[in-house]
Amino acid sequence: MNRYSIVLIIICFLALPAIHSQDKPDTTPETTETNGLSIVVTSLKADDKILQIDYEVINNSRQEIWICDSISHSCNFEIFMEDDNQTIIVRRRLDVPSAMDWLIQPHGRYICLDSGKKRRESLLLSLPIYSRRFYSNESHEKDVQFAPHLAIEIGYYVGNLPKMVFNMLKEIGTSADDRIGIFYFNGWFGDELSFSKRHEDIRQRDEEVLIPYTRQSFKGEKVLRSEVAKIKIPYKETIKRIKQDTPELSSVNRIEIRYEPSMLEYFFPFQGQIDLLSKEEIKHLRSEKTIIFEDPTDISRFSNELKEVKQISGGIVSEESKAKVFCYQDGNLITSFVVYDNTSIETEQKQRIRYVRRLQSLTMQTPQIQPFELRMQCASNLSNLWHRLRLYDIAVKKRKSIEESIQSNMKSFDSDRSKYQKNDKNGKTDFIMENLRKEMNLHIESLKKRYKDLYSNSKLVYPDPTNWCDALGFAYSKSEMKILICPSASEGKCYYAMNPNCGPNSPGDMVLLFETKAGWNEHGGPELFTLDNHDPRGGCVLLNDGTVKFIRTEEELNALRWK
């Protein structure tokens, strides 16, 4: 996708009903203009218990922007009072200074908003509003205050954000700057430049991007700030977390789920996912709106998953699609709630609860989408492999003087063998060392042949097609090689093959990887392609520019560029 520079227009209008009768809300629309993007408040609800703001983010420009959707896996915004005690800030951005040390490094999730598109969101907060600080731990107990202003801050990027992140990874891989340790020790690369599992779990890498918190080393985020309320709003600074109760389903024996507008929009919200579906499949999924399950095991699994709550206390959700859940006991409605994006629920009491991990029950209990979900996961595997292949040279370069290191380690193994054998009656140590020796020898010759390319003019190279699976496992980590397995196929180590005619500088529409039957280091042409891994029949193909296609017929296969 092409990325362009962007400027923002924000039109925010908020007519907040008086929470306190003596306060008259300011209904004057506030407008901050630059060029092309607007945020328009479409609905407002407020009483003594909740404040809800519905709004649309509309891209009227000719360009593309990337909007911050969350700031960590468990938190999509923070809320606090500014030092002047005049403004409550709802902040959703990553480029914020902080001295915090997190157990799991934060990351920002950014979503693409194409030209002419809009995104509907809503903010729901219980009153009084409780502080939720993320970048500092300065919270302490205070009495309820009344802030005359409420403002929203949203981070966004201009231009080709996936390319910016990719270039960051390349730069870090070749940099001697000490700050790169931030990435290595907090799970961004994992083992020797392999992407973190969290990053590879995102659904559509061309339309959503994760960025690790770099303590402001990664530049370019801009900030949209808009004051959206001019009325006294109750706020409490606290270190406590207000626990909210999840729906009680112990007596439920029937659950009905209604997807709005349909299963297509709920489960496959990205254009890249829709491109993997045929017109008939799209039509079918748009017609599917309701499922019912009554199996006690399924209901119990769903109930238990809902109880695994970590992040609570209000939330921002996308209103583009939702799943309305109705729970019955012997035909009587017991409770109902709404699920957003498998990450948040909203109860009948207007409480929103956000989950650390995505809910799996709806996906598992909706059989209509299962074959398509497996297809999307297979396509995601290939997309992740493309990123690994494009960073393969960096991964190998980071193993400084690898042959010398390997040889040194092998000598160390030999010298230590006798020491370990004394305390190893079963010969386990000897067995492990021999396996390590064999594994190291397997890569030495291949790496030697390719070092000339790796170190000449920063030339990008792919692994040798004859041992590309082994090479990726060596450059990254064997524990991270599950992406070589098509999720809809049977048992096997790898279900993809490499086209030996495709190199880094080959045309973008040339086949790079494609589905095949179970094997290892498979390489060749269309004769290896299989349509049998999926039902409906077909197979995924990765092109050299990163595009993934789903091929259904021999004619489509032969129309691809192989040489």
Q: Are strands 494-498 and 129-130 parallel, antiparallel or unpaired?
A: unpaired
Contact between 481 and 471 (Cβ < 8 Å): no
pLDDT bin (cut points 50, 70, 90) of residue 10 is very low
Rounded Cα distance, 427 and 525, in Å: 44
Contact between 10 and 224 (Cβ < 8 Å): yes
**Encoded amino acid at 132, one letter:** R
**Encoded amino acid at 25, one letter:** P
The model's pTM: 0.81
Q: What is the DSSP string of 139-161?
A: ------EEESEEEEEEEEEES-H
pLDDT bin (cut points 50, 70, 90) of residue 449 is low
Rounded Cα distance, 53 and 46, in Å: 9
418, pLDDT greater than 70: no
Which two three-digit tokens encode residue 125? 């907060």
Residues 122-173: tens digit of each pLDDT:
999 989 998 888 898 776 788 899 988 888 888 888 888 888 877 776 666 5
Look at residue 457 in the predicted model and tell me its pLDDT: 45
Contact between 497 and 398 (Cβ < 8 Å): no
Q: Edge-to-edge, what's the strand order for the sheet holding 290-293?
A: 290-293, 254-260, 322-329, 332-340, 344-346, 352-354
310, pLDDT greater than 70: no
Mean pLDDT of the 36-44 span: 79
Residues 318-370: tens digit of each pLDDT:
999 999 999 999 999 999 999 999 999 999 989 898 888 889 999 999 999 99
298, pLDDT greater than 80: yes
Residues 500-512: tens digit of each pLDDT:
999 999 999 999 9
Q: Between vectors from CA 15 to CA 13 and to CA 17, what angle results, nearest 5°?
A: 160
- Kindly state the percentage of the chain with pLDDT values over 70: 74
Contact between 14 and 44 (Cβ < 8 Å): yes
Mean pLDDT of the 77-96 span: 91
Residues 535-554: tens digit of each pLDDT:
999 999 999 999 999 999 99
Contact between 262 and 165 (Cβ < 8 Å): no
Higher pLDDT, 449 or 44: 44
Mean pLDDT of the 473-489 span: 81
276, pLDDT greater than 80: yes
C-alpha torsion angle, residues 130, 135, 140, 146 (rounded to 10): -40
Q: Are strands 222-229 and 118-126 parallel, antiparallel or unpaired?
A: unpaired
Look at residue 226 in the predicted model and tell me its pLDDT: 78
Contact between 481 and 472 (Cβ < 8 Å): yes
pLDDT bin (cut points 50, 70, 90) of residue 31 is very low
Which two three-digit tokens encode residue 197? 């599992």
Q: Residue 355: CB partners within 8 Å, gap ≥ 6?
A: 308, 309, 310, 311, 343, 344, 345
Residue 563: C-alpha distances to residues 178, 506, 508 (Å): 43, 9, 12
Which two three-digit tokens encode residue 365? 């209990």
Rounded Cα distance, 388 and 453, in Å: 18
Residue 179: C-alpha distances to residues 144, 182, 191, 260, 300 (Å): 41, 6, 17, 46, 47
Which two three-digit tokens encode residue 550? 């789903």
524, pLDDT greater than 60: yes
- Return the exposure string of 435-449: e unless at least 16 CB atoms fall within 10 Å of the residue's CB, then b: eeeeebeebeebbee
Contact between 446 and 474 (Cβ < 8 Å): no
Look at residue 164 in the predicted model and tell me its pLDDT: 83
22, pLDDT greater than 70: no
Q: Identify the H or E element spanning 274.
A: helix 271-274
Tell me the CB-side half-sphere exposure of residue 337, using CA atoms within 13 A.
20
325 beta partners: 257, 337
Mean pLDDT of the 217-235 span: 82
Rounded Cα distance, 523 and 526, in Å: 10
Which two three-digit tokens encode residue 182? 């931030």
Which two three-digit tokens encode residue 536? 């409906």
Rounded Cα distance, 549 and 275, in Å: 8
Rounded Cα distance, 166 and 155, in Å: 19
Q: Running DSSP on this structure, what letter comes out for residue 508?
A: T
Which two three-digit tokens encode residue 540? 């995924």
What is the number of other CB atoms lying within 10 angstroms of the CB of residue 451?
15
Higher pLDDT, 241 or 179: 241
Rounded Cα distance, 77 and 89, in Å: 10
Residue 233: C-alpha distances to residues 19, 125, 182, 485 (Å): 7, 11, 39, 53
Look at residue 56 in the predicted model and tell me its pLDDT: 87
What is the number of other CB atoms lying within 10 angstroms of the CB of residue 498?
26
Rg of the chain over Cα atoms, rounded to whole angstroms, equals 26
